């Protein structure tokens, strides 16, 4: 389980990027909502400690118990369904030993670990109907439990992770082309249907968010209020921003024009207070974290290691894209945190745990899998 590693194989660059980004997150959260800063700092310390500890354990040891990880994930998601806490019409949290916990965030990491091992064990038959069908069947229970909370944004992120793992696992380009030929038209049809007045495919608030994105002027004082103010905040920061934790009266943050700015719209605070330069630093750090994960993936000793690193790169990259796109009006409001920056202890600690596994894979980068 524990091995001897060479210090020079440790990815100190990745650790530096993670600490730098998480520190920025703690500072920005302190400006957005001071009462949450100390909690996020505790999450950073706990997450960092767990990352270092996990990085010293052979990841293949944990992957031996991939079925236990799968059913643990299902158990946590089911606990939300039967004993969860409802906040803002969504049941996504459960209290464990007095600590509020969001299983949908840990689900992303656990599913990456599970499918990394499952795909590796079935890599020779990955392009057969039986194997692909089994993968989809195994995805559906956790996906449904997340979607039903309701949490559409995390459901989309889980599907993206699943597709990325299948692609890197060796999915045939022919099958990808067939899937694209089916999924793209269906997506267009789905989007056409969900904006109809009497649709029942998605919840009303989700439909209104899509309509607010398509017709922002009509919903600027309703569902589009948050995004419109977020865009205003980012634009008002200009090149260098209004200053960290400023008391400028015209500040969107100081005027409380964005509710819960420490979570989904944290990038609006970054843009307003740190400007284009500060926003660029955050985006560059997110990109460097994803690229370092991909770099480790290319040198992983086996396919499961490659898949885990790719999964973490996809998680950080695509989730960051979704969050920032919402804050800048490029996507409908989906309500998903910005990795390592938004407030959320479950999200932060889960991401650090995943990065701990990535670091261990980097320590064992001896040869490429055959």
Specify the DSSP element, H or E, that contains 92: strand 90-96
Residue pointed to by tokens 């706990």: 46
d(CA 370, CA 367) in angstroms, rounded, equals: 9
Give the DSSP letter of residue 8.
G
pLDDT score of 229: 87
| Longest Cα–Cα distance in the chain | 62
Identify the band that residue 44 occupies on the pLDDT scale cut at 50, 70 and 90: very high
Preceding peptide of 150 cis, ω within 30°: yes
Give the DSSP letter of residue 84.
P
State yes or no: pLDDT of 92 exceeds 90: no
Of 6-10, 357-361, 366-370, where does mean pLDDT reach its minimum? 366-370
Percent over 90 (pLDDT), the chain: 64
Identify the band that residue 304 occupies on the pLDDT scale cut at 50, 70 and 90: very high
pLDDT score of 370: 38
pLDDT score of 29: 96
Give the residue from 319, 300, 321 showing the smallest Cα distance to 309: 300
pLDDT score of 323: 95
The DSSP string of 257-285 is: -SSSTTTTTHHHHHHHHHHHHHHHHHHHH
Stronger pLDDT, 124 or 248, i.e. the higher one? 124
- Give per-residue pLDDT as tens, 272-285: 999 999 999 999 99
Contact status, residue 353 vs residue 109, Cβ threshold 8 Å:
yes
What's the average model confidence in pLDDT over 226-242?
A: 90
pLDDT score of 368: 42
State yes or no: pLDDT of 119 exceeds 90: yes
């Amino acid at each position: 389980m524990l091995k001897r590693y060479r210090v020079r194989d440790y990815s100190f660059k990745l650790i530096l990027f993670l600490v730098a980004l998480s520190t920025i997150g703690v500072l920005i959260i302190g400006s957005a909502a001071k009462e949450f800063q100390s909690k996020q700092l505790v999450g950073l310390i706990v997450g960092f400690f767990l990352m270092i500890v996990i990085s010293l354990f052979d990841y293949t040891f944990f992957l031996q118990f991939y079925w236990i990880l799968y059913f643990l994930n299902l158990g946590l998601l089911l606990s939300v369904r039967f004993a969860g806490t409802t906040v803002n019409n969504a049941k996504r949290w459960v209290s464990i030993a007095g600590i509020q916990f969001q299983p949908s965030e840990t689900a992303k990491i656990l599913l990456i670990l599970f499918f990394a091992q499952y795909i590796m064990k079935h890599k020779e038959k990955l392009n057969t109907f039986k194997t692909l069908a089994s993968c989809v069947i195994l995805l559906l229970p956790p996906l449904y439990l997340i979607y039903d909370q309701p949490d559409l944004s995390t459901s989309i992120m889980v599907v993206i992770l699943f597709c990325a793992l299948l692609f890197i696992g060796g999915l045939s380009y022919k099958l990808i082309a067939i899937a694209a030929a089916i999924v793209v038209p269906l997506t267009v049809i789905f989007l056409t249907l969900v904006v109809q007045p009497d649709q029942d495919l998605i919840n009303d608030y989700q439909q209104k968010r899509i309509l607010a994105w398509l017709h922002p002027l009509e919903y600027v004082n309703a569902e589009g209020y948050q995004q419109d103010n977020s865009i205003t905040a980012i634009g008002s920061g200009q090149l260098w921003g209004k200053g960290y934790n400023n008391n400028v009266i015209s500040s969107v943050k100081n005027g409380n024009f964005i509710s819960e700015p420490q979570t989904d719209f944290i990038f609006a605070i970054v843009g307003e207070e740190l400007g284009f330069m500060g926003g660029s630093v955050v985006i560059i750090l997110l990109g460097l974290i994803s690229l370092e994960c991909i770099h480790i993936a290319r040198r992983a000793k086996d396919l499961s290691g490659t898949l885990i690193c790719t999964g973490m790169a996809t998680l950080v990259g695509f989730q960051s894209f979704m969050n920032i796109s919402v804050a800048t009006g490029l996507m409908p409001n989906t309500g998903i945190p910005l990795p390592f920056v938004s407030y959320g202890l479950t999200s932060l600690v889960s991401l650090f745990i995943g990065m701990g596994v990535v670091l261990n894979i980097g320590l064992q980068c001896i040869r490429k899998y055959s």
